[in-house]
Structure 1
Amino acid sequence: MGVLDEPFVGSWAVAAGVVTRWELRHNFVRVFPDVYVRKGCSLDARGRACAAAHWAKGDGVLIGRSAAAMHGTRWLDADQAAEIARRGHCRPPCGIRVVRSVIEPSECCEVDGFAVTTPARTAFDLGRRLPRERAVPILDALCAATGLEPGEVAVLAAKHPGARFLNRLRTTLVVVDPGAESPPETHTRLLLIDDCLPRPATQLVIRNHYGEFVARVDLGWRKWQVAVEYDGAQHWTDPTQRTKDIDRIARIEALGWRVIRINATLLYHRPHVVLDRVRTALTTQGAQLNK
């Protein structure tokens, strides 16, 4: 990518001779005061975080969703305001949320030249501030992207005994699982857990009687040979993918597994159907479940 293909400070670019004032006005769009992007460029969560850091001109630390984005977290909403911590009072422009706070040096790191909170501190902040159903998908993805373990966040939390909403954080950390590969997979897992079903394993590998790989399923219980698969739109609209899915499910079921397939409509509008089908499958396979 070129030097001007990402957000940049306009005054610095002009002073360095990289762009003229005329070009800045005509070929670029102002995102924040003195921060520009090339016309036609759409910012994702990471790009918006970089733009906010440029606006602060080094005086601040990216936190929350912005820090998560810098660490490579997927599935973040690009339209959410960028988040940054600064020492003093200031009035941020629309699209930037400023928290007046000082982050300890041990809880900061550098990513691509920008100051951001460490993965553990990022999870610590998000897990306290967001409701569990919103925090868990982000923390799942953050842990997957960085290798962060929930236990590391708990250790950091112990160093901040007076912080607000620690109970919310603890409730969130208990159900975090980096194995989730999309927010709907996380929501499916939470649905099952909240119905007091045994906690399923994520990305469960199924092998045949010779130990050969057969498939990997989104969620499941090896003990009872029950799998739960979340199918996105491509699983139903792409004929090639549809054929692969039919063959794959047949191979899994031939080994004695029960497979419950769900989509967005079932998950978000008819969750009781999902739970009934999972409970029936588990019971049929020998699980003793609480009523």
Structure 2
Amino acid sequence: MLRRPFHTSEGAARGLTEGRMRGHDLARPFAGVRISADVVLTHLVRCAALATRLAAEHAFSHTTAAALWGLPLPDDEDGLRPLHVTGFNGRQPPRMPGVIGHRSWDDTIRRVDVAGLPIVDAESTWLQLGAMLSFEDLVACGDALIRSPRHYTERPALSSVDGLARRLESFSGRGKAALREALPLVRDGSESRRETHLRLLLLRGGLPEPELNVDVRDDDGRFIGRGDMVYRGAKVLVEYDGDHHRTDIDQYERDQSRIERFQRAGWITVRVRRRGLAITPDETLERVRSALASRGDL
């Protein structure tokens, strides 16, 4: 029992004395909650700990729900992002350090269970992010919500553009204007937050919109590979290389083999890393623009 979060009332019911629950080998992630001190307090563990304090009218919401849904949020540097909890029908959420509470009377928000935790439904979560995230990250989270699985092991899409549009139409909370601006740019196919940011950079720079993560074949119909952002007519491929593409040797070798196959088939590949997106975006735009122009596609 000690290696999972438990409320002190549960501990007492199982025979733990008050003195035992004050032991130095037990951490106190929240008031009235205990867990073995050697358990790493990840975001999921912290949510499980706080869940022992929640009532039936409570659910994790906002960025906390987004993380539990697996949406691509900005980095949480210290892993201690505050947990958001919404109380339905005006129910007061817990008041304690590390928790940001909200109250809602919106009966369109659904409370669902994911991994045993009460969470605001995925579409409502996106609406709640409207007043919290940048435009680029709202699009990235929208992309993640509607992403179709590419493999049977991947989860089904959590929503669709039409589903988000219907929920947004009746939404009256903060951030609606930002959400309305972001929704027309939400696309199925983006596989990461940075890929979405790169696509938006290309569009802001006046470049054509690429296809996203599609299979590409050579002139004889042989499969070459799948590209992040594909300009099929121009035979130009734009790839975002995250750190794992550099630090994971197997991934690096697979990438190199795939890029070589594209080159042999006459494709130009523009590879973009984090610096090219965050520090030198104008240079990145020029590289892609030059590649397209060299094929007469601009």
1:101 partnered with 2:104: yes
The answer (yes or no) to whether the contact 1:65–1:126 under 8 Å persists in 2 is: yes
Corresponding position of 1:43: 41
**Aligned-residue CA RMSD in angstroms?**
2.6
Corresponding position of 1:156: 167
The answer (yes or no) to whether the contact 1:53–1:60 under 8 Å persists in 2 is: no
Corresponding position of 1:198: 208
Q: CA deviation at 1:270?
A: 1.0
Change (3 A) 1:100 1:282: same
Which blocks of at least 5 consecutive residues in structure 1 are unaligned? none
Corresponding position of 1:85: 86
The answer (yes or no) to whether the contact 2:66–2:73 under 8 Å persists in 1 is: no
The CA deviation string for residues 57-84 of structure 1, in whole angstroms up to 9 with x for no partner, is 4341221122223334356634321111
Corresponding position of 2:144: 141
Corresponding position of 2:124: 121
The CA deviation string for residues 8-61 of structure 1, in whole angstroms up to 9 with x for no partner, is 3232233134x5545533332111111233223233333333333323343412
Q: Percent identity?
A: 30
The CA deviation string for residues 211-232 of structure 1, in whole angstroms up to 9 with x for no partner, is 3322112112223221111112
SS in 1 for 2:185: coil
Which blocks of at least 5 consecutive residues in structure 2 are unaligned? 148-154
How many residues in Structure 1 have an aligned counterpart in Structure 2? Answer: 284
* Structure-2 separation of matches of 1:212 and 1:277: 28
Corresponding position of 1:13: 11
The CA deviation string for residues 138-186 of structure 1, in whole angstroms up to 9 with x for no partner, is 33334445512132111012223x3333221111222223532222222
SS in 2 for 1:287: coil
**1:33 maps to amino acid:** A
**2:144 maps to amino acid:** A
Corresponding position of 2:152: none
From 165, 177, 180, the counterpart of 2:187: 177
Change (3 A) 1:209 1:90: closer
SS in 1 for 2:214: strand
Deviates more, 1:260-269 or 1:198-207: 198-207
The CA deviation string for residues 93-129 of structure 1, in whole angstroms up to 9 with x for no partner, is 2211101223426633233443321111111211344
Change (3 A) 1:116 1:27: same
* Structure-2 separation of matches of 1:178 and 1:283: 27
Change (3 A) 1:23 1:151: farther
Q: CA deviation at 1:239?
A: 5.1
Higher helix share: 1
SS in 2 for 1:69: helix
The answer (yes or no) to whether the contact 1:8–1:36 under 8 Å persists in 2 is: yes
SS in 1 for 2:53: helix
Corresponding position of 1:231: 241
Q: CA deviation at 1:92?
A: 2.0
SS in 1 for 2:290: helix
* Structure-1 separation of matches of 2:203 and 2:34: 45
Change (3 A) 1:135 1:35: farther
* Structure-2 separation of matches of 1:85 and 1:132: 24
* Structure-1 separation of matches of 2:68 and 2:243: 28
Deviates more, 1:28-37 or 1:84-93: 84-93
1:167 partnered with 2:156: no
Change (3 A) 1:213 1:57: same
The answer (yes or no) to whether the contact 1:72–1:142 under 8 Å persists in 2 is: no
1:277 partnered with 2:287: yes
Instruction: Give the alignment's TM-score, normalised by structure 1.
Output: 0.85
